[in-house]
Amino acid sequence: MSLYIALTGLKGAQSALSVTSNNIANANSIGFKKSTTTFADLVASSGIRSNQGGTGTVLQETEQQFQQGVIESTGNTFDLAISGQGFFATRPDLLDTNISFTRAGAYSLDRDNFVRGPGGEHLLGYTVSPDGRTVSTGPDSLRPLQLPNTSGDPIATSQLQVAVNLPESSTVIPEQPRYAGGTYAFDSRDPLTYNFKSPATLYDTGGNPQLAEVYYVRTQAPSVGDQRSLWNIHVTINGEDLTPADGNPIVAEFDINGRNTPAVPPVLFDPYDPGNGTLPTQLTLELGTATELSDAPFSLLSVQQDGFPAGTLDGVSIDATGLVSAGYSNGTTVNLGRVAIVNFSNPEALVGTGGSRFQATGESGDPQFLIAGSDGAGNILSGSIERANVDLTEELVGLIVAQRNFQANAKSIETDTAMTQSILQIRG
């Protein structure tokens, strides 16, 4: 009987040795979670006063240990680690709906700008609104994270803000009608009909640049009876005059101190058609109070416009809540999605499928789809990875213990064999 008892001990030692060896072998595997073995004794009878001794040992459970491993900084934006509880959600490919869960966050972009792991699995996330709010969470809300190469649709310029310094010494150019009915003598092609001009680059609905020019024509200098200085403002795009929507000329008025007062209110122009197949756009001009009259030469103080061409991908950031934001060459920043975090009531019951990935089981509980940093989910650290939670010193001690157990049980078999041999010799 002792031979079979020792045999169960050998099997138990082998199991412990296998688990320990697997832990050691994966000490450098990103996101790997070590396992531990639990053994129980065997008895032949469950009676209260049984005279039967134990009959050996049995491997009761091999359990994953999900304590957090050391987090190491890498500097790669798509290397992700979870500080706290939770798992990343992944799919093998775009068509496979089977979800796996992992702590291994070594991701990168493929040629189609999908965020994928070293095994080709797709990292899953939630859809977000333009301001970064998560639209919804849950398995039906998950989608593979992908970065567009461009910032999406270009933005047509709708507002132009210009501030200039106009010289006090500028000559007056009276704007006389060319003929009865009233077309002014201003002509952007004739520099004798204006004092100064300032350029600005605008964008149409297709993101194409359009050259806008603002012209400044002095029509009145201060006099004894009227100390105001008056300037007429004209705007052209690609050489074509824009017409104020209210039909009134744009007049900037400066007091004796050179202040633009009262300030010219925003001027809305009639729609402008670039003539290149894009939609007409309507521009608003704002001169503001920064425009001034002084003894200094003419200078462009500032120019701003709110349009953008389509930009190319310039950089990506992922914050602690998993929000993925992309910056583009046109200066725009777009929120693309949020990395999903999944938690379980009993993660130790997850079953490993290789590659530091796990599948849910009935005992693990249903997956809880969360946002990083909320409802018990850990924060996401971009530019970092989580190393295996294997303590080599502890595992080497366990290796020695398993070896000693194996040797001890082997010695029991050897002793039992010697005793059996002695009995056979007596009978002989």
| CA distances for 233 relative to 210, 249, 258, angstroms | 19, 8, 17
Displacement of CA 71 from its chain's centroid (Å): 19
- Domain 159-305: give its CATH code: 2.60.98.20
Give burial (CB, 10 Å; 0-12/13-18/19+) of 217: buried
Res 288: pLDDT: 79
Report the 10 Å Cβ neighbour count for 356: 24
Q: What is the structure's pLDDT at 427?
A: 57
**DSSP state string for 103-147:** S--B-EE-TT-BEE-TTSPEEEEE-B-TTS-B---SGGG-EE-B-
Instruction: Give the pTM.
Output: 0.67
Q: What are the structural domain ranges in the chain?
A: 2-67+389-427, 73-150+312-384, 159-305
Number of neighbouring beta carbons within 10 Å of residue 363: 12
For the stretch 155-200, pLDDT in tens is 899 999 999 999 999 999 876 665 454 455 789 998 988 999 999 9
Nearest alpha carbon to residue 79 among 369, 318, 359: 318
How do residues 113-124 score in pLDDT, each as one tens digit? Answer: 999 998 899 999
DSSP assignment letter at 424:
H
The span from the CA of 395 to the CA of 390, in Å, is: 8
Render the burial of 114-126: b for 16+ CB within 10 Å, e for the rest.
Answer: bbbbeeebbbbbb
Over its length of 428 residues, how does the chain's per-residue pLDDT go in tens digits?
Answer: 677 787 887 888 888 899 999 999 999 999 999 999 888 888 776 555 555 667 888 888 888 898 999 999 999 999 999 999 999 999 998 888 889 999 999 999 999 999 999 889 999 999 999 999 999 998 889 999 999 877 767 889 999 999 999 999 999 987 666 545 445 578 999 898 899 999 999 999 988 999 999 999 999 999 988 999 999 999 999 999 999 999 999 999 999 999 988 889 999 999 999 989 899 999 999 987 889 999 999 999 999 999 988 888 888 999 999 999 998 887 788 899 999 999 999 999 999 998 899 999 999 999 999 999 999 999 999 999 999 999 999 999 988 888 888 888 888 888 878 777 777 777 55
Question: Looking at residue 2, what is its pLDDT?
Answer: 74
Give the CB-side neighbour count of residue 352, counting CA atoms within 13 A: 16
CA distances, 401 to each of 34, 39, 369 (Å): 17, 14, 41
Report pLDDT for 60: 84
Q: Which residue has the tokens 């077309």?
A: 183
pLDDT of residue 48: 58
3-state SS class at 162: strand
Give how far Cα 159 sits from Cα of 23, 198, 224, 306, 307, Å: 63, 16, 38, 6, 8
